[in-house]
Amino acid sequence: MSSVADVSGIRINPSILAADFVNMQAELARIATADFVHVDVMDNHFVPNLTFGPQMVGRIQATSPIPLDVHLMITDPERWAPEYAELGAASVTFHLEAAADPVGLARRLREIGSRAGIAVKPATPADVLFDILDEVDQILVMTVEPGFGGQSFMPETMPKLRLLADEARRRGSSVWLQVDGGISASTIEQAAEAGADTFVAGSAVFGAGDPDAAIAGLRAAAAASVHRH
């Protein structure tokens, strides 16, 4: 992890959904300053899109110098999520809306040794997460409808993020609050200001001429807003 991130407590996780899949090693080399690589697993069931599964993610894990932040947009996460933890992903995030036993699954992921994350779609309220807050290492507040990169950030998700940040602070929790979807130089500040500390960005990073410079720009913008709390 970059030393800048360690100091600021801000993490920038580029999503490889916006990368060139057949040049993955070269693409990973373009984001050397990233904190984690965000890997979007989609099953054409929980979301209307299809990406890759454990075999592909296992190869990325084996070759990536950057730890993996796996985002599972799949039904039946109890069946699949442990496999991603077992292959060595640093964090595995599943959707609350898809999980039959979210607490049990989070415990299983931690037991295997990965960080456990829980994600919520834009329409899912904050309070349903309060019961599981202490069982997870990160909460992912989707800032677009999951399924595709390149969509517009939904500012209406910010009050939910604020509620979660307030609740986490009240409990003295060290849970990371992640945002994903439409994060760019023009939207990252409002997310940081609302309480996010971990930022997924696909097109804003891989669509830039210099992805590492884009990461630095996002990091600086987020840090400036976080410090205004």
Shortest distance (Å) from residue 76 CB to Zn ion: 18
Shortest distance (Å) from residue 205 CB to ligand DX5: 8
Which of residues 50 and 227 has its CB atom nearest to ligand DX5 in the complex?
50
Which residue is nearest to Zn ion, using beta carbons?
A: 71
- Integer Cα distance of 85 and 68 in angstroms: 10
Which of residues 103 and 216 has its CB atom nearest to ligand DX5 in the complex?
216
- Each residue 184-203 as x (binds ligand DX5 by CB under 6 A) or -, in order, gives ----------------xxxx
Q: How many CB atoms lie within 10 A of CB 145?
A: 14
Q: CB within 8 A of 21, min separation 6: which ones?
A: none
The reply to whether 35 sits near ligand DX5 by the rule CB under 6 A is no
Active site residues: 40, 180
The reply to whether 31 sits near ligand DX5 by the rule CB under 6 A is no
Q: What is the DSSP letter of 128?
A: G
**Helices within 46-96 (DSSP H only):** 54-63, 77-86
Q: CB within 8 A of 143, min separation 6: which ones?
A: 122, 153, 154, 157, 179, 180, 181, 182, 183, 187, 191
The contact set with ligand DX5 (CB under 6 A) reads 15, 17-18, 38, 40, 71, 144, 146-151, 180-183, 200-204
